[in-house]
């Protein structure tokens, strides 16, 4: 009977090692899968942000369009002010 105990211990140790190695492989596989999922989610989020940013910048009521409209209005106001100054200058130089 004493001879059977070391064999049982060896079997148990071998079984424990086998179970531990399987757990380790599963754990490594799980972590690599999470990394891949995180990468895909990150790429999707970046694509969504890029789409929203492009729309906000270049859309019909986007930042660039609004800036162009504001620049046009500023130029028109500057031309009007210059025309008013020219008219005032003519009035002052004519002597009236």
Q: Which residues 6+ apart lie within 8 Å of 63 measured at CB?
A: 56, 57
Q: Which residues 6+ apart lie within 8 Å of 15 measured at CB?
A: none
pTM above 0.85, yes or no: no
The verdict on 52 and 16 lying in the same domain is yes
As a whole number, mean pLDDT of residues 48-59 equals 92
The predicted pLDDT at position 1 comes to 47
The verdict on 51 and 89 lying in the same domain is no
The verdict on 73 and 92 lying in the same domain is yes
Q: Which long-range contacts (CB under 8 A, 24 or more apart) does 9-17 make?
A: none
Name the residue range of residue 26's domain.
1-58
Distance of CA 53 to the CA centre of its chain: 9
Total of domains in the chain: 2
């Amino acid at each position: 009977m004493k001879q059977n105990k070391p064999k049982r211990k060896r079997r148990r140790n071998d079984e424990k090692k086998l179970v531990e190695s399987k757990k380790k492989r599963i754990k490594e596989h799980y972590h690599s899968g999470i990394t891949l999922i995180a990468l895909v989610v990150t790429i999707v989020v970046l694509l969504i942000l890029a789409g929203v940013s492009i729309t906000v910048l270049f859309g019909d009521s986007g930042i660039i369009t609004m800036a162009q409209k504001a620049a046009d209005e500023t130029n028109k106001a500057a031309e009007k002010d210059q025309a008013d100054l020219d008219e005032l200058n003519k009035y002052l130089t004519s002597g009236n």
